[in-house]
Amino acid sequence: MSPIVLTTLNARYIHSSFGLRYLYANLGPLQPQATILEFEIHDRTLDICEELLAQDPKVIGFGVYIWNVSETERVVAALKRIRPEVIIVLGGPEVSFETEQQSIVAYADYVITGEADHAFRELCIELLSDRRPTDKIQRSALPTFETLTLPYDQYSAHDAANRIVYVEASRGCPFTCEFCLSSLEVPVRQAPLEPFLAEMQKLYDRGVRHFKFVDRTFNLNIRISRTIMQFFLDRYVPGLFLHFEMVPDRLPEQLKELIVQFPAGALQFEVGIQSFNPEVGALISRRQNYEKLAENIRFLREHTGVHVHADLIAGLPGETLESFGAGFDTLVGLGPQEIQVGILKRLRGTPIIRHDAEWQMRYNPNPPYELLENKLLPFETMQRLGRFARYWDVVANSGNFLTTTPLLWAKGSPFQGFMQFSEWLYQKTGARSGFSPKNLAALLLEYLTTQRSLTIAEVSSAIVSDFTRCGRTDLPKELQPSSNPQKSRKEIGKLPPRQSRHNGHAENL
């Protein structure tokens, strides 16, 4: 039994809640009275309620994010029907701004806005003493790292073995990009280096080999980023994997010299480019040196084993379909292993709303608040871009079709070539997801031979090469050795029925 329950609904089981562990670590003398319970967004509402109430809690604190707010609201509403006396406290980025507009806030007793590491403890002290603050909205002061208890001891042995372990060496961001909540977190606060590295050593000694840094600008302070990377390089063993979010145009020689020493597969850099259109960048207060970022990505691809994950955003004010496509082509030419095409989201509290009137920005009122249309991109075009992004993810980013994917544009525009495939695939299947690699291989074979006029031998060679590289043996029947290589294109079009969608099916993309 725990008077205080800290909980959230994670997107998937593999994720662990970094925020809950910070709150728990900073409860001080209340820690023995608290427990952490994590769920997934696909769990049944009443099953979550049952497990929470089994703790006989007085206070339940929910971590609320853009990906779980709808599901969390259903849980909170049910809890208030079942046990109205239980005090519900909300926190997290989704409820830190515009609280008066949110229906989930109406169900809660208290909402803590901002970083609640200390504020949640102080509120619980009051509530467990039967003192009820009069203000429903509790605004937390910005904590410094020197006053925080680091949360890494709160990762269990099971977490270390089965879940993503998140770490941070800093909070905040020096940039002012208007679409991002991090632009509101100025200045950057750095964790004291020696205590942080001591905690990393403890995690490493416990067998953790995958470290995902959530710092928004890991390479902002080159001295600190070098020290941290050197720490892990000195302890490198096969299987060590480090994820960093990097400023793409900031990669000085002293950092390059260190990066090249890591073996292939040890580092993943997430680089947020968002747009190659300088006019759009100026419009949304995003500063970046396009020449330098291109030079840095080429260096990473040509001279290191870093896995580069690059982000672009479709729908930014001032961005046309043509300029977005040109930026996409530029990025493909730089050769990152992954290109994440995201649709612009209107995150609560971000200043992107200042463009709503001029650019006629219309967003979905429901999470994740994606752009529906604007002055330059009508709804139908945004739908096409959404499908493009999804199909790119399952074909190109999946890694299953590295040899086959470039055939879709065959020395032409990657954006135009893949958009044509996207349009065909949607017309052919009517689906945005649920594709198995085997099913996609058959569809790619049909498209490339019937729509792009490539030879069966050329396409078959590419797909077989991809399947062999991935260790797959489930080739479509059209590509199996016993197949007649002379069969007609009409016969190739007779594909097996589209595989049914099953939650959690590893073969379904």
pLDDT band per the 50, 70, 90 thresholds, residue 494: very low
432's tokens: 């945005």
> Count of CB atoms within 10 A of residue 412's CB?
11
Q: What is the mean pLDDT of residues 340-357?
A: 95
pLDDT tens-place string over residues 28-45: 999 999 999 999 999 999
The confidence score (pLDDT) of residue 185 equals 65
> Count of CB atoms within 10 A of residue 24's CB?
23
Write down the domain spans for the chain: 4-145, 164-377, 380-509
Q: What is the mean pLDDT of residues 248-264?
A: 96
Burial status of residue 264 (CB atoms within 10 A of its CB: 0-12, 13-18, 19 or more): exposed
The confidence score (pLDDT) of residue 187 equals 80
CA distances 242 to 208, 234, 381, Å, are 11, 13, 37
pLDDT band per the 50, 70, 90 thresholds, residue 414: very high
Q: Of 14-28, 51-65, 388-402, 492-506, give the lowest mean pLDDT range.
A: 492-506
The confidence score (pLDDT) of residue 473 equals 87
The confidence score (pLDDT) of residue 1 equals 84
Q: What is the pTM of this model?
A: 0.90
CA distances 321 to 121, 326, 372, 416, Å, are 48, 9, 14, 11
Q: What is the CATH number of domain 164-377?
A: 3.80.30.20
Instruction: Please say if the pLDDT value at position 210 is more than 80.
Output: yes
pLDDT tens-place string over residues 62-89: 999 999 999 999 999 999 999 999 999 9
pLDDT band per the 50, 70, 90 thresholds, residue 481: low
* Rounded Cα–Cα distance for residues 474 and 113 (Å): 51
Q: What is the mean pLDDT of residues 246-272?
A: 96
Q: What is the mean pLDDT of residues 163-170?
A: 96
The confidence score (pLDDT) of residue 10 equals 97
Q: What is the mean pLDDT of residues 217-246?
A: 96
The confidence score (pLDDT) of residue 62 equals 98
CA distances 453 to 445, 481, 491, Å, are 11, 22, 15
Instruction: Please say if the pLDDT value at position 491 is more than 50.
Output: no
* Rounded Cα–Cα distance for residues 334 and 436 (Å): 28
366's tokens: 């429901």
Q: Of 50-59, 119-128, 143-152, 468-477, give the lowest mean pLDDT range.
A: 468-477
Q: Of 185-194, 238-247, 285-294, 450-459, give the lowest mean pLDDT range.
A: 185-194
**Which class is 4-145 in CATH?**
alpha beta
| Closest by CA position to 366, among listed 97, 94, 107, 179 | 94
Instruction: Please say if the pLDDT value at position 389 is more than 70.
Output: yes
Q: Of 98-102, 229-233, 258-262, 298-302, give the lowest mean pLDDT range.
A: 98-102
Q: Report the mean per-residue pLDDT for the chain.
A: 92
Q: What is the mean pLDDT of residues 481-499?
A: 40
Q: What is the mean pLDDT of residues 215-227?
A: 95
Q: What is the 3-state secondary structure (H, E, C) of 448-487?
A: HHHCCCCCHHHHHHHHHHHHHHCCCCCCCHHHCCCCCCCC
The confidence score (pLDDT) of residue 483 equals 46
The confidence score (pLDDT) of residue 174 equals 86
pLDDT band per the 50, 70, 90 thresholds, residue 501: very low
* Rounded Cα–Cα distance for residues 319 and 371 (Å): 13
